[in-house]
Amino acid sequence: MSIAFEPLATQTRGSDEVQDLAPLQNFQRTLSLATGLSLAVLNSAGSPLAEYSHPSDHLHGYLLKSSTLVRALLAPECNEFRVIHGPGGLLFMRHPIRIREVLFGHVLAGPVWEAPPGPEELLELSALIGLPSDQVESAIRFHPAPVPLDLSLGRELTASLAELSGQLLHDRRQQRQTLTTLASLYEIGTAISSSLDLEEVLSTVLSRSIELFGATTGSLILLDEIRGELKILAQDAPDDTTVCTSRIPLGEDAGEWVTREGQPRIGCGTDNGHLRVPLKIKDRCIGVIHIGARQDRTAYTVRDLQVLGILSSHAASAVDNAQLYSRVTRQVRELEALQEVGYSLNSSLDVPETLRQVLERACDLLEATNASVMLLDPDGRHLRIRVARGLSDEVVRETRVRLGERISGRVAQEGLPISLPGGVDAQGEEIAPSLSVPLKADNKVMGVLNVRGRPHAEEFTREDVDLATRLASISAAALENAELHDELQQLLIDSITALANAIDARDPYTRGHSERVTEYSVMLGEQMGFAPDEIERLRYAALLHDIGKIRIPDHILNKPGRLDDTEYEEMKRHPVYGVGIMLPVRAFRPLLPYMLHHHERFDGMGYPDRKMAEEIPLAARIICVADCFDAMTSDRPYRKGLAIEVAIEELKKNKGTQFDPEVVELMLALIAEGKLDPVLEKMRAQASVSSLLGRRAGGLGGVFSGLVGRGRLAGLPGPSL
């Protein structure tokens, strides 16, 4: 009985190589029909690339599906034509496909029989290909294979098919490799050109290179000319996304050799070779791409070296662009930071705050773990730490460096920066890299900026030194401005104090009044949480609150008795007179409301404008309490100063009417805590001296009083603020 089998013509099994061998179809068909043999082209692993079964051969396709049979037919490996005796009495002819000593696969012709198979052989074939034995017997009966087998003819036809298959497979494989390489190079070029981040570019170059060559490992070595070392990126496997980074000093290794010589090479060894190609920009070598052994253990060729050379050319350009972008970005970032630092430092005239900002900016810009700012002592011969980060309080407190000694002393004396690399000291302890630069303004050294320690113990570069020097220059200018401002502020305070003393000196009984009112007012302002600039305005207003009394006639100002209505109205005009005197001074205009309203009452019954409660500036309410407290506790021509206890009761009694209740409570707290005692003791001491001088002078007392009344002794030293 004839069994209907599905004929197998030229087959494709999901491989690009199968498609590449499609032109063999006509040649295989012609040979098969002429000889009665079915033909198959197998790759080196035994998988069919192209096969043609004779129309009358119903076993060929099933036999090729048996991996066990195919492996048996291809073993042992042989470089020449062979006749293979298979199971069931089958015979096959096998011919290797080789091009340039590279095994591409085999041509397999058959099956044929020298004699019809017996029952046992039929059962063996049936089990092998999974068909009933009667179907196998029917297929053999109608099989077209020649008997006996003409080996010479078989050798010739398999050799012809092997030669054609090998050449075609080789050509197509070369074409495919070329296209794959070009596509990969294009993808790599696009990938690395789309990023300006240096780390990302380096990782992409390394990963894609390993993938392109099917390598097991790879590394990219980049020369850091600034630090004098090699930066190494390593990847352990083609599918590993982790890229490890390390740095080593320049040494006599292969990477350094290629960096120095700039020549590509193929290495050989137990790992079946590797590739090394330099990254070059305009004949300047900036690094090396190293590709490890292939996964399939095949050796690299000159063509591989050329491909990696093309890749390295693209990569070098991308790396150069990324480095340039990184440098420009860093410079822009540094310039922006320096501009911000300059603005920030110059906007602050507080020396401690300026020093803290210098320290923070230095650590941020230079990535330092600790830092300190040292300033020259007034003697100009020693440096002391004024602010620090990462140093103990004891070190900050005890450190005192003479000019010329230690690193900071040398920097201050010579006016030049000093950078030291890290290392290990004699005791085996690690020493972090450090950098010290002078704080110079107008070629005058004011101090030293010290920074120390960096991530991964990286040394400070020339760029870091330049950046630190620019930062120190800006900082020194800001520090000089702050110190100059402090000097001007002190000069202003001294001038205002002298002016206030001149006012007080018109009346010997009120000497020091303005200074005491100022001290009380500043204490109250600090208790109320005034900002530093608000404290300064309060200080000036308190010192000048009675300046309008300059225009009050002596007979009213120094009258020992009670003032009549006309005299009292004139005395009440002294706040207005004071505002008129200070109005031309533009810097003092914010103080004028405090001076004008310091005699207003909380209940609205004061002068000059009868303002009340919150309508009165807070600073004026503070000066009001301080002024009245001092007036009550100091001697006057018409009475002795009241006891503190009596003054306290007066404050309490007039709280909420004459005085702001909150300010009174704070004043009472200051009195209870003894904060006012030093001021009161100084006032009593001055009163005792004045009384003693009056008694000893006898008849000269009137002359002394006249001198004081006319301001002739206004230059006597008073309390310092």
Tell me: pLDDT of 521 over 90.
yes
Identify whether residues 541 and 658 lie together within a single domain.
yes
- Arithmetic mean of pLDDT, 6-18: 41
158 occurs within a structural domain: yes
Question: Which range marks the domain in which residue 519 is found?
Answer: 505-709
Amino acid identity at 493: I
Structure confidence by residue, pLDDT tens digits, 304-318: 888 888 878 877 877
Read off the pLDDT of residues 257-282 as tens digits, 9 standing for 90 and up. Answer: 555 556 666 765 444 478 888 888 77
Q: Give the span between the Cα atoms of 47 and 70, in whole angstroms.
A: 8
Q: What is the pLDDT of residues 32-56, one digit of tens each?
A: 887 888 888 888 888 888 888 888 8
718 is a domain residue: no
Predicted pLDDT at 250: 56
For residues 235 and 87, state if they share a domain. Answer: no
pLDDT (tens digit per residue) in 622-636: 999 999 999 898 876
In a domain, 107, yes or no: yes
Q: Give the total number of structural domains in the chain.
A: 4
Please give the share of the chain, as a percent, with pLDDT higher than 90.
Answer: 15
| Residue-level pLDDT at 10 | 37
Q: Report the alpha-carbon distance of residue 256 to residue 658 in Å, rounded.
A: 87
**Is residue 699 predicted with pLDDT exceeding 70?**
no
Residue 217 lies in a domain: yes
Residue 26: inside a domain: yes
Tokens of 632: 């009550």
pLDDT band at 709 (very low <50, low <70, confident <90, very high): very low
Beta strands in 181-273 (DSSP E): 218-224, 229-235, 244-249, 265-267
pLDDT in tens, 123-159: 888 888 888 888 888 888 777 766 566 777 778 888 8
Averaged confidence pLDDT in the chain: 77
In terms of C-beta distances under 8 Å and separation of at least 24 residues, what long-range contacts does 237-245 make, across chains too? 237/210, 238/207, 238/210, 238/211, 238/214, 238/295, 241/207, 243/202, 243/203, 243/206, 243/207, 245/199
Q: Average pLDDT for residues 686-700, to the nearest whole number?
A: 50
Return the pLDDT at 425: 66
Least confident of 40-54, 335-349, 444-458, 482-496: 335-349
333, part of any domain: no
- Residue 11 has a pLDDT of 39
Same domain, 169 and 33: yes
Same domain for 411 and 531, yes or no, is no
pLDDT in tens, 346-394: 665 666 777 787 778 778 778 888 888 888 888 888 898 888 888 888 8
CATH value at residue 105: 3.30.450
Looking at the DSSP bridge assignments, the partners of residue 180 are: none
- 428 and 469 share a domain? yes
Q: Give the pLDDT score at 616.
A: 95
- CATH classification at residue 689: 1.10.3210.10
- The per-residue pLDDT for 234 is 66
* Statement to judge: residues 158 and 241 lie in one domain: no
For residue 534, what pLDDT band results from cuts at 50, 70 and 90? very high
My answer on whether 462 and 384 are in the same domain is: yes
What is the pLDDT averaged over residues 527-556? Answer: 89
* Burial grade of 554 (CB within 10 A; 0-12, 13-18, 19 or more): exposed
Q: Do 163 and 208 have their domain in common?
A: no
Answer whether residue 181 is part of any domain: no
Q: Read off the CATH number of the domain in which 302 is found.
A: 3.30.450.40
Do 201 and 279 lie in one domain? The reply is yes
Pair 702, 567 in one domain: yes
Report the C-alpha gap between 517 and 625 in whole angstroms: 9
pLDDT, tens only, 165-216: 888 877 777 777 677 777 767 776 776 666 667 777 777 778 878 887 888 8
- Residue 511: DSSP 8-state: T
532 in a domain, yes or no? yes
- pLDDT of residue 13 exceeding 50, the answer is no
Task: Tell me how far apart the alpha carbons of residues 370 and 359 are, in angstroms, rounded to a whole number.
Answer: 9
Judge contact between 255 and 288, C-beta under 8 A: yes
Write down the pLDDT at residue 596. 94
